[in-house]
């Protein structure tokens, strides 16, 4: 990554009054959480994401799909936020108006200290009743912690305590709409911001991929952090090629001096 690009990005970030940080799976990669497209590895490799992350898949084989999400939840519970997550939390302490929007279903932003991240695709930690969304749902008898299912194993989902319908993961599946409140808040923040930092997203899943474009159309500067080119490159004023855990602490340090991270 060129030092000059980092300095330019840091100047823009340091001067911005309203900032949005949009993250994708890449921000959690250095915490050991596989990116979505790498998630179907090991024993899960024989499955197709479309077979696991849909309502149809859950109805056809709830134990298989619940087992996959329990495996992912256990893996995330063992992971720790990385310097990228912590740098994003640091940006939020330095910029008065800073909204963090994530496509990730993990809780690593929260554990790094980010306030109220908007979860566009739901969360691994908020299961819900398949029949009545308002019913409180739990993970069943896992004593408060995630199960530790073996990779590739089937786990029967718990039943709702109120109506006995199956409990499902609290994530957005392919073909499902995004939670309306989250999407509205994300779009409003994108329209109002003067700088949007997009980190670790392939920029191919809509409507999340629209958010940097909304910000750019509304006059914001968009900066991207990703080791690879993405379809968002042309929207971005600056593309910082590197990983979140490397680039973000350096960006914060260059914008405001030393960080807690450095």
Q: Which residues are catalytic?
A: 121
Nearer to ligand OAD, 15 or 176 (CB): 176
Which among 31-39, 109-117, 131-139, 153-161 is the span making contact with ligand OAD, rule CB under 6 A?
A: 31-39
d(CA 153, CA 50): 18
Binding span for ligand OAD by CB under 6 A among 89-97, 126-134, 138-146, 222-230: 222-230
Applying CB under 6 A, among 92, 130, 226, 259 the residue interacting with ligand OAD is: 226
Residue 30 contacts ligand OAD per CB under 6 A: yes
Could you tell me how many residues of this chain bind ligand OAD (CB under 6 A)?
23
Residue 164 CB, shortest distance to ligand OAD, in Å, is 27
- Choosing from 244, 250, 251, 254, the residue that interacts with ligand OAD (CB under 6 A) is 244
The residues in 34-53 that bind ligand OAD, with binding defined as CB under 6 A, are 35-37, 53
Nearer to ligand OAD, 103 or 130 (CB): 103
H helix intervals, the chain: 3-15, 26-29, 49-52, 55-60, 62-78, 83-94, 108-112, 180-192, 210-217, 244-256
Task: Give the rounded distance of the alpha carbon of 231 from its chain centre.
Answer: 18
Q: How far apart are alpha carbons 17 and 198 in whole angstroms?
A: 17
Locate 138 and state its tokens: 């739990």
Q: Does 261 bind ligand OAD (CB under 6 A)?
A: no
CB of 18 to ligand OAD, least distance (A): 23
Q: Between 244-256 and 3-15, two packed helices, what is the crossing angle to 10 degrees?
A: 60
Structure tokens belonging to residue 248: 């973000």
Q: Residue 121 interacts with ligand OAD (CB under 6 A)? A: yes
Distance, CA of 140 to CA of 154 (rounded, Å):
15
Q: Is the CB of residue 212 less than 8 Å from the CB of residue 203? A: yes
Nearer to ligand OAD, 32 or 136 (CB): 32
Got the DSSP string for 77-130? Answer: HH----HHHHHHHHHHHHSSEEEEEE---S-HHHHHT-SS-EETTEEEEEEEES
Per-residue mark of binding to ligand OAD, 65-94 (x: CB under 6 A): ------------------------------
**Interface with ligand OAD (CB under 6 A):** 24-26, 29-30, 35-37, 53, 103, 121, 172, 200-202, 205, 225-228, 230, 243-244
């Amino acid at each position: 990554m060129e030092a000059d690009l980092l300095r330019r990005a840091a100047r823009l970030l340091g001067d911005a009054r309203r900032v949005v940080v949009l993250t994708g799976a890449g921000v959690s990669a250095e915490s050991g959480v596989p990116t979505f497209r790498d998630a179907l590895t090991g024993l899960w490799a024989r499955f197709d994401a479309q077979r696991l992350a849909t309502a149809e898949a859950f109805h056809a084989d709830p134990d298989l799909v619940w087992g996959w999400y329990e495996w992912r939840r256990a893996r995330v519970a063992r992971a720790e936020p990385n310097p990228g997550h912590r740098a994003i939390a640091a940006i939020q302490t330095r910029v008065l108006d800073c909204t963090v929007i994530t496509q990730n279903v993990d809780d690593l932003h929260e554990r790094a200290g980010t306030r109220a991240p908007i979860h566009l695709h739901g969360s691994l930690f908020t299961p819900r009743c398949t029949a009545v969304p308002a019913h409180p749902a739990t993970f069943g008898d896992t004593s408060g912690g995630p199960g530790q299912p073996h990779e590739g194993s089937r786990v029967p989902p718990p039943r709702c305590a109120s109506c006995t319908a199956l409990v499902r993961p609290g994530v957005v599946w392919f073909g499902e709409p995004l939670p309306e409140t989250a999407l509205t808040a994300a779009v409003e923040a994108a329209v109002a911001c003067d700088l949007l930092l997009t980190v670790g997203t392939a920029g191919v899943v809509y409507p999340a991929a629209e958010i940097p474009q909304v910000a750019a159309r509304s006059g914001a500067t968009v900066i991207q952090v990703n080791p690879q080119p993405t379809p968002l490159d042309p929207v971005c004023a600056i593309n910082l090629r590197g990983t979140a855990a490397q680039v973000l602490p350096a960006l914060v340090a260059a914008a405001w001096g030393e960080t807690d991270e450095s």
